[in-house]
Amino acid sequence: MTAAHICSDCAVRDRALCASLDDAELNALNTLGQRRTLQRGQALIWAGEESPVCANLISGVLKLSATTPDGREQVVGLLYPADFVGRPWANTADFTVTALGEAELCVFPRGPFERVLEDHVRMERLLLQRTLASLDEARARMLTLARLSAREKLAGFLLDLADRSHGCRATAFGPVTFDLPLTRGEMADVLGLTIETVSRQLSKLKAEGAINLMGARGITIRDRAKLEASSQ
Count of other CB atoms within 10 angstroms of residue 170: 10
Question: Domain ends where: 91, 110, 144?
Answer: 144
Contact 177, 186 (CB under 8 A): no
168 and 110 in one domain? no
Rounded alpha-carbon distances, angstroms, from residue 27 to 4, 14, 157? 8, 16, 38
Tens digit of each residue's pLDDT (9 = 90 or more) over 208-227: 999 999 887 889 999 999 99
C-alpha 98/C-alpha 64 separation (Å) is 7
Question: Domain ends where: 144, 174, 190?
Answer: 144
Q: Which residue has the higher pLDDT, 19 or 220?
A: 220
Tens digit of each residue's pLDDT (9 = 90 or more) over 47-69: 999 888 989 899 889 999 988 88
98 and 158 in one domain? no
With 70 as the cut, is the pLDDT of residue 6 above it?
A: no
Tens digit of each residue's pLDDT (9 = 90 or more) over 98-117: 999 899 999 999 988 888 88
DSSP class of residue 173 equals T
Look at residue 30 in the predicted model and tell me its pLDDT.
Answer: 77
Indicate which CATH number applies to the domain containing 215: 1.10.10.10
Q: Using DSSP bridges, classify how beta strands 168-169 and 84-85 pair: parallel, antiparallel or unpaired.
A: unpaired
137 and 28 in one domain? yes
Mean pLDDT of 165-170: 60
- What is the count of structural domains for the chain? 2
Domain limits for position 44: 3-144
Question: Domain ends where: 129, 144, 159?
Answer: 144
